[in-house]
Structures are given as structure tokens and as C-alpha cells.
Amino acid sequence: MEAREFVAQGDRVLVIGFAQGKIKATKRAWEDNWVFAITVRNGKPTKIREYIDTQALARASEMAANPKP
């Protein structure tokens, strides 16, 4: 996981990044560009929303339809 860019305006911070990995069960690799949208009040995060490529993770998690015994 790597944060690549930070954008701040008012009480909002966007963190833009990239992650990659491999699903152990399927041995399939995945890549994901993600964004965290963070609201900060009085110096503390009060709300965090995460936007990820759920389809990329779902594809990497799919088991074969007819697995070999």
C-alpha cells in the first residue's frame, strides 16, 4: 500500500494511493487505485470514507468453477 498524493481543503483531506497483493486462496494478483476521503475536526479525523476497486479484488478472489481434485 502506498499513499501517492494528498489534497487538503478546509476540513477535508483526500489521500490517493495504490495497493497490490495476492489472494492466498487463489494465488491471483490484484492491483487497486484507492482514495481515502477524511474529514478532520479539531485536529482529529471524524469521518473516513474509503473508495477501492472492489471488482479487482472480487476477480482475484474467484475460485475456479471446476477445481481439479
Q: Where are the domains of the chain?
A: 2-28+37-52
pLDDT at residue 68, rounded to an integer: 57
What pLDDT is attached to residue 15? 97
Q: How far is CA 54 from CA 2, 4, 25, 34, 43, in A?
A: 18, 20, 17, 10, 30
Q: Is the pLDDT of residue 69 over 70?
A: no
Percent helix, strand, coil in the chain, to 5, is 10, 60, 30
Quote the distance between the C-alpha of residue 65 and its chain's center: 26
pTM for the structure as a whole: 0.72
Element (H, E) at 39: strand 28-41
Identity (one letter) of the amino acid at 19? A
